Amino acid sequence: MLAHPSPDLYGSDRTFIESVRALVTHWRVIVTLPEDGPLSDVLREAGAEIVVLPVPVLRKAFLTPFGLLRLAAAAARALPRARRLLRRERAAALYVNTVTLPFWLLAARVARVPAICHVHEAEDGMARPMRAVLYAPLRLARSVIVNSRASAAAVGGSAGKGGTRIIYNGVDGPPPEQVAPPRSEPGPPARIVLVGRLSQRKGSDIAVRAVQVLRERGYDVTLTLVGSVYPGYEWFESELRALADGDGTVVFAGFRPSVWNSFAEADIAVVPSRVESFGNGAVEAMLAGRPVVACATQGLVEIFTDGENGVVVAPDDPSALADGVARLLADWDGARAMAKRAAADAAERFGADRYHRDLREVVHGLTATSPSPLHPAS
C-alpha cells in the first residue's frame, strides 16, 4: 500500500507516479489519497488501485495552537480508518510518500505493518524544535529513503538506527512528439519559463523581479509562470500579480497537466527556488533540452555544475538570476550546446529505470522480513 498527500500533478506527484510504476510490475499496489484529483487517473493507468481516505496532511496552517488541536482531532478520526484499511487489504508494507503524512506511519505501527517513508523535504532552515517535531515520526518507519544529500542532512539522526538511503528521483523525458530543439535565436522576445507551484519556496517572486531587472537593462524578455498556488495561499498569487503589474511581460498560465509543451515554447528555464530538496522541474527542463539558470540551493547544487550543465547563481537574488539569463543570451550557441550536454547528463543520472530498480530493491528488503507478503501482481 502507498500513501500520498496530494491528488495533483506537480514535481513530487510525478515522482510518485514513477514509484507506482516501479512497484506494480512486482506487486499489487493500492494507493491512498486524501481526495480525488488529476493524479488518480494517471495512477489507475499505471496499474494502481485508488482508495480515497481523508487522512490529515501536515501543512504550515496547522502549526498554531488552534491548528494543532484541529490536526489532533482530524488524526483521531482518521487513524482507525487507516488501520482498518491496512488490515483489510493484508498489506505487508506501507510506502509513505513525504513526511507530511505522519499519521500513516502511526497507523502502520498500530496495524503492525512495516513502513517506508520517502522524504522529499529538506527543511534545514526551520527552527530546530519544529524540525525535530516534523521528522520525529520517521522513527516509526522501518526504512527511510531521501531524495538528495540535502534531505539526508536535514533528517540527520531522526531516521533512527537504520539511517537513510539516498535515491535520486527518477524523471522520464518528454515523449518524442513533444521534443523540440531550442530556437536558433532566442527572440525577440526571449521567452523564459518557470514551471512549478506559485510559492515563495519556489521563488516565483524572484523570477518576476529578475525579468523586471532584465527589461530595465534593455533586454526584450517575457516570463511564463506555469502552476498554481496551494489552496489557502491565494494571497500569494494576488501579491505576485500586483508585482507583475499586468503589463503582459509576465504570463500566468495556471496549472498544466503536462510540462513538456511549456518547455517547448520557451527559450530558457529558470529554477529560482529558495527551498528545493531535489528539483524535478530542473531535471525536466534539462531533459526538454532547455538551458537552465538555477539557484545554488540545497538539492539543486547536486544536479548542476555551473557552466557544464547549467548556470548556477546566488539564491534569493533577482539581479543574480537576471545575470544568469543574460549570460545565456550573450552566448546562445554555447547555451544550446550546454543544454544538449545537460539533457544527456540528466538522462544518465536521473533516469526512471535506475529509480525503479533502486526503489524495488528497498521494498524487496522490507517485504522479505514481513510475515504476510504483498499480493503479487497478476
Helix H or strand E segment including 119: strand 115-119
What grid cell was written down for 59?
A: 501543512
- Residue tagged 539526508 (cell numbers): 152
Residues 6+ apart with CB under 8 A from 143: 114, 115, 116, 117, 162, 165, 362, 365, 366
* Phi and psi based region of residue 93 (left: phi greater than 0; alpha: psi -120 to 50; beta: remaining): beta
Helix H or strand E segment including 269: strand 268-271
Radius of gyration over every alpha carbon of the chain, rounded to an integer in angstroms: 21
Position 378 scores a pLDDT of: 34
The residues of the chain scoring below 50 in pLDDT are: 371-378
Position 65 scores a pLDDT of: 63
Q: Are 63 and 130 in contact (CB under 8 A)?
A: yes
Q: Which is the CATH superfamily of the domain at 2-170+351-367? A: Glycogen Phosphorylase B; (3.40.50.2000)
Q: Which is the CATH superfamily of the domain at 176-349? A: Glycogen Phosphorylase B; (3.40.50.2000)
Position 369 scores a pLDDT of: 56
Position 377 scores a pLDDT of: 42
Per-residue pLDDT reduced to its tens digit, 286-331: 999 999 999 999 999 999 999 999 999 999 999 999 999 999 999 9
| Residue-range domain boundaries for the chain | 2-170+351-367, 176-349
The answer to whether 2-170+351-367 and 176-349 have equal CATH topology is: yes
Position 61 scores a pLDDT of: 61
The neighbour count for residue 249, using CB atoms within 10 Å, is 17
Per-residue pLDDT reduced to its tens digit, 82-92: 999 999 999 98
3 state SS of 283: helix
